Amino acid sequence: MEEVSKDSHKAGFINIIGRPNVGKSTLLNALLGENLSTTNPKAQTTRHRILGILNGDDYQLVFSDTPGVIDPAYLMQNTMMRFVDEALEDADVLLLMIEPEANNPFDDSFIEKVKKAGVPVLLLINKIDQTNQSGLEQVHAFWKTILPDVEFWNVSALHKFQLDALKSRLIELLPVSPPYYAKDTLTDKSERFFCEEIIREKILRFYDKEIPYAVQAIVESFKEEEDIIRIRMTIYVERESQKNIIIGKGGSGIKRVAISAREDMEDFFGKKIFLEPFVKVAKNWRKDELKLKRFGY
């Protein structure tokens, strides 16, 4: 095996945190060049902490995408915020992402945690395509008063603006360290997890209001054969009425979800997919500790 110079290899954990919908998952995907983490114009798209690993010959950047920071209203959101707290604690570098606005959407205790993180913090002002020079100057002036010691970065995750420079800076900031994961690892999440996320993304896209938030998709079986993967999934909702909405008239709703999800899964796995989705009611699962455990929260 070729000797990789151990004394110059850099590796570490770069955790992306911020309010819902600011573009955290879009950034992760753009940096990795893979559609790993679900993105959507609706808030609270991401519910888990998802690792995305960017490997080079002499570096390994382990990014964490996290759920948007909110005041938890029910049990599932407590877990979502626990993922954020962990991300605040185990980072080598923190990427705090905001929209280009001169206001502070966080509470004091969150800002305190950021200040005390004890690691480099980069304030990523994302979506700069939606502002102008004088708007940006106001944003900078305002945030200097909130977080005077952090590094400011004007970026656009969607348009991949400044991402190469950001990547170089991150490598610079990381400690010399051997890699944490095998160099061909892309993520810590399973194939099943990505199937569940693909279904959830379709539901976010095709249904309105409360429906996407009441849904959890679970893979019941995943059988990989030589030229096809057979996947059985259950889409859980909280109430009978939601089940009827998901299924739709004559099954048209669930059919649309299944067709679109299958296409994405075929892209993701590079293989033919046979997908069988079922819809079931798990009464009030977002407030039920046992059901949440079972659903991975």
> Which residues of this protein are in contact with ligand GTP, per CB under 6 A?
18, 20-26, 39-41, 43-46, 67-68, 126-127, 129-130, 156-159
Looking at beta carbons only, is 11 or 125 nearer to ligand GTP? 125
Measured CA to CA, the distance from residue 95 to residue 205 in angstroms comes to 27
Site for Mg ion in 18-37 (CB under 5 A): 24-25
Q: Is 46 in the site for Mg ion (CB under 5 A)?
A: yes
Q: Which does 44 bind (CB under 5 to 8 A by kind): Mg ion, ligand GTP, none?
A: ligand GTP
Nearer to ligand GTP, 156 or 242 (CB): 156
Q: Residue 64 interacts with Mg ion (CB under 5 A)? A: no
Tokens of 296: 């991975």
Shortest distance in whole angstroms from residue 22 CB to ligand GTP: 4
| Count of residues of this chain found to bind Mg ion when the rule CB under 5 A is applied | 4
Query: Which residue has 């980072």 as its token pair?
Result: 91
* 77: contact with Mg ion by CB under 5 A: no
DSSP symbol at 69: P
10, β-bridge pairs: 59, 176
In whole angstroms, the minimum distance from the beta carbon of 101 to ligand GTP comes to 13
Bridge partners of 133?
A: none
Which CB atom, from 59 or from 297, has the smaller least distance to ligand GTP?
297
Q: Pick the piece of the chain touching Mg ion (CB under 5 A) from 46-54, 105-113, 124-132, 278-286.
A: 46-54
Nearer to ligand GTP, 59 or 295 (CB): 295
Examine residue 242 and tell whether it contacts Mg ion (CB under 5 A): no
How far from 195 is each of 104, 187, 243, CA to CA, in Å? 36, 14, 20
20 or 179: CB nearest ligand GTP: 20
Burial code of 155-188, b = ≥16 C-beta within 10 A, e = fewer? bbbbeebbbeebbebbbebbeeeebeeeeeeebe
**Residue 216 in contact with Mg ion, rule: CB under 5 A:** no
Minimum distance, C-beta of residue 187 to Mg ion, in the bound complex (Å): 14
How far is C-alpha 235 from the chain's CA centre?
A: 20
Nearest residue to the partner ligand GTP, using Cβ: 68
By three-state DSSP, how is residue 143 classified? helix
**Phi, psi of 7, rounded to the nearest 5 degrees:** -80, 0
Return the number of the residue (10 or 24) whose C-beta is nearest Mg ion.
24
Q: Looking at beta carbons only, is 212 or 253 nearer to Mg ion?
A: 212
Nearest-10 Cα torsion for 151, 26, 184, 267: -170
Rg (CA), the chain: 20
Give min distance, CB of 137 to ligand GTP, in A: 19
Report d(CA 125, CA 199) in Å as an integer.
Answer: 30
Residues that bind Mg ion (CB under 5 A): 24-25, 45-46
